[in-house]
Amino acid sequence: DIQMTQSPSSLSASVGDRVTITCRASQDIRNGLGWYQQKPGTAPKRLIYAASSLQSGVPSRFSGSGSGTEFTLTISSLQPEDFATYYCLQYKSFPYPFGQGTKLEIK
Amino acid sequence: EVQLVESGGGLVQPGGSLRLSCAASGFSLSDHYMDWVRQAPGKGLEWVAQIKNKRNSYTTEYAASVKGRFNISRDDSKNLLYLEMNSLTTEDTAVYYCADCGSHPSGIWGQGALVTVSS
């Protein structure tokens, strides 16, 4: 099974900061990766699919990059509504593992 | 409005069964591969199962934690997705989401249904 290692597990940042979250796959997954944002008590919302494609309606300050085994989610300028938990998901092969999550908190 | 709405959650005793439904509206499920994902209280996300579309023979896949106990199915004529859950344990307590987790640009998720397994 493919394992996904997401880092960091938590992150403190300020409004306006640039932040990067990383997911590493234990095997080559090409571009079979999505990034999700989840706020407390709500369903996850996909931000990025196919590693770098921006989901329709998602602000352009979110971007994804990488292929193979190393992937990053970047938020170019944090906004107050961006404080949430972020997950990566590998969908190249079964079973689909999520990353462990990154809780982004206000500094 | 394009949406998925889960139903059928609730309280069930250990060893019991429950069937979740997921109704699609505003779009046709038929072309989509559909998944169930769950989230135990205070925990991260766990992919549970997938069913492919008719073109791909409705092939199913399951997480090891539910294989042999859960069954995913769909009725494209009714725009419905199902998850039949048997031999439930307290470890299955979670919010269950239906979703399209793959490469389809929709990336749509439902709002979730709470399943509580407790005596």
The whole-angstrom distance between A41's CA and the closest CA on chain B is 10
Distance in Å, alpha carbon of A39 to nearest chain B alpha carbon: 12
3-state secondary structure B82-103: EEEECCCCHHHCEEEEEECCCC
Using an 8 Å CB-CB cutoff, list chain A residues near B62: 95
Angle at B104 between CA A75 and CA B6, to 5 degrees: 90
Look at residue A107 in the predicted model and tell me its pLDDT: 87
Q: What is the DSSP letter of B109?
A: B
Q: How many Cα atoms are found within 13 Å in the side-chain-facing hemisphere of B104? A: 16
Please give the sequence-ordered ranges of beta strands (E in DSSP) within B40-79, or none if there are none.
Answer: 45-51, 60-62, 70-75
Backbone dihedral angles phi then psi of residue B73, each to the nearest 5 degrees: -150, 170
Residue A18: per-residue pLDDT: 97
Weakly modelled stretches of chain A, pLDDT under 50: none
Residue B103: per-residue pLDDT: 85
Determine the average pLDDT of the residues in B48-61: 97
Q: Which residues in B lie closer than 8 A to residue A32 (C-beta atoms)?
A: 103
Give me the residues paired with residue A104 across strands.
Answer: A11
**Mean pLDDT (whole number) for B25-50:** 96
User: Closest approach of chain B CAs to the CA of A84, in angstroms?
Assistant: 13
| Residue ranges of chain A whose CB lies within 8 Å of a chain B CB | 32, 34, 36, 38, 42-46, 49-50, 53, 55-56, 87, 89, 91, 94-101
**One-letter identity of residue B71:** N
pLDDT of B104 above 90: no
With a cut of 90, say whether residue B105 has pLDDT above it: no
- Dist CA B38 CA B53 (whole Å): 21
Provide the pLDDT for residue A46. Answer: 97
Alpha carbons A88 and B101: distance in angstroms, whole number = 11
Whether the CB-CB separation of B59 and B115 falls below 8 Å is answered with no
Record: contact A98-B50, CB cut-off 8 A:
no
For residue A46, what is the nearest residue in chain B, using CA coordinates? B107
Interval B41-63 mean pLDDT: 97
- C-alpha–C-alpha distance, residues B110 and A45, integer Å: 10
- Indicate the average pLDDT of chain B: 97
Residue recorded with tokens 């048997």: B86
d(CA B100, CA B109) in angstroms, rounded, equals: 7
Q: How is the beta sheet containing B10-12 ordered, strand by strand?
A: B10-12, B113-117, B94-99, B34-39, B45-51, B60-62
Confidence at B106, pLDDT banded by 50, 70, 90: confident
Chain B residues closer than 8 Å to A34 by CB: 101, 107
**Chain A residue numbers touching B105 (CB-CB < 8 A):** 49, 53, 55-56
Nearest to B99 by CA among A89, A22, A85: A89
Calculated CA dihedral for residues B112, A100, A68, A64, nearest 10 degrees: 70
**How many angstroms separate the CA of residue B41 from the nearest CA in chain A?**
10
